[in-house]
Amino acid sequence: MTMDATSQRFLMCRPTYFAVDYAINPWMDPTAPVDADLAVRQWEQLRQIYRDLGHTVEEITPVPGLPDMVFAANGGTVIDGKAMAVQFRDPQRADEAPAYRAWFEAAGFEMYDPKHVNEGEGDILLVGDYLLAGTGFRTAHASHAQLQEVFGYPVITMQLVDPRFYHLDTALTVLDERTVAYLPEAFSPGSRAVLRRLFPDAVHATMADAEVLGLNAVSDGRHVVLPAQATTLAAALRDRGYETIGVDLSELRKAGGGPKCCTLRLRQGKASK
Ligand code: ARG
């Protein structure tokens, strides 16, 4: 099988002000040490991997006092030139929303504002012509209807059940237009049944892979950038013909984030879908 990589446009935010000084998910321990300089170097490695793959990386200016702003995936959902801004569940992250919104507006995207809690691509994943939308911890179920109305893709609700996998992108990776990898245990029985129905050939990740945030991966259809520690998942993906690229984001993981969290896909229009 030959697989074609599509060149992508990403938005990233340098972790200049990164820290773990509050806890809004089970990964975060404000008493544990974090090496902030190492976090920046690891993030730069991720950016370099994307550049080496031929992707375009745009950057938003980090804002002091917003330590989680590095997780650009939570800044919005951008499909077909439309950008839906976000509304965070937690007040600690609330001020990130207008910063990202201003960036999208300046970049010329058609803007939409959320009516309910909506944490962007953390919970909203485009697979081919469907939007998978997570709920249970962050993004409100009520926001799913708005997403369908704004983007015009059928939205399929995914019920998350394990607080460690609080965003959909910690439990499921989109590999290409037809295939995903996921951790079955992170989903309710009904959502598992839906996933089996939609993606009978999906890669099932192990708990050990998920516990190093292995599913928080970025695929261009051929290359999959994932946490270096997710070795079993990487081997399973290589068996399917993907090229895997491991990256160590140990410091950002202390905030509950991996490569995908640091990366927001900017889909300009149909051509770059
Ligand atoms: N500390 C951040 C939070 O809990 C991490 C966000 C990770 N982002 C993601 N797309 N999963 O909100």
Q: For 164-209, what is each residue's pLDDT tens digit? A: 999 999 999 999 999 999 999 999 999 999 999 999 999 999 999 9
pLDDT tens digits for range 118-157: 999 999 999 999 999 999 999 999 999 999 999 999 999 9
273 part of a folded domain: no
Which residue has the least CA distance to atom 8 on ligand 1? 261
Q: Which atom of ligand 1 is nearest the CA belonging to 167?
A: 11
Which residue has the least CA distance to atom 7 on ligand 1? 257
13 part of a folded domain: yes
Please determine, for residue 273, whether its predicted confidence score (pLDDT) is greater than 50. no
**Residue 3: band (very low, low, confident or very high) from pLDDT cuts 50, 70, 90:** confident
SS3 string of 85-129? Answer: CCECCCHHHCCHHHHHHHHHHHHCCEEECCCCCECHHHCEEEECC
**Ligand 1 center from residue 255 Cα (angstroms):** 7
CB 171: neighbour CB atoms within 10 A?
26
Instruction: Indicate the residue type of 206.
Output: T
Binding-site residues, ligand 1, Cβ < 6 A: 24-25, 28, 68, 71, 73-74, 93, 122, 167, 169-170, 255-257, 261
270 part of a folded domain: no
**Ligand 1 center from residue 90 Cα (angstroms):** 11
| C-alpha span between 173 and 242 (Å, rounded) | 13
Q: How many domains does the chain have?
A: 1
pLDDT of residue 271: 41
Domain of 97 in residue numbering reads as 9-265
The two beta strands, 203-204 and 180-182, are parallel
As to burial, measured by CB atoms within 10 angstroms (0-12 exposed, 13-18 middle, 19+ buried), residue 225 is: buried
In degrees, rounded to 5, the angle at the alpha carbon of residue 70 between the alpha carbons of residues 102 and 158 is 90
pLDDT tens digits for range 201-210: 999 999 999 9
Q: Which atom of ligand 1 is nearest the CA belonging to 93?
A: 12
Mean pLDDT of the chain: 96
pLDDT tens digits for range 38-48: 999 999 999 99
96 part of a folded domain: yes
- 3-class secondary-structure state, position 252: helix
4 part of a folded domain: no
pLDDT tens digits for range 216-237: 999 999 999 999 999 999 999 9
**Ligand 1 center from residue 1 Cα (angstroms):** 34
Residues marked active site are found at 167, 261
pLDDT of residue 153: 98
Domain CATH for 250? 3.75.10.10
2 part of a folded domain: no
231 part of a folded domain: yes
Which residue has the least CA distance to atom 9 on ligand 1? 261
As to burial, measured by CB atoms within 10 angstroms (0-12 exposed, 13-18 middle, 19+ buried), residue 32 is: exposed
**Ligand 1 center from residue 71 Cα (angstroms):** 6
pLDDT tens digits for range 86-100: 999 999 999 999 999
pLDDT of residue 4: 83
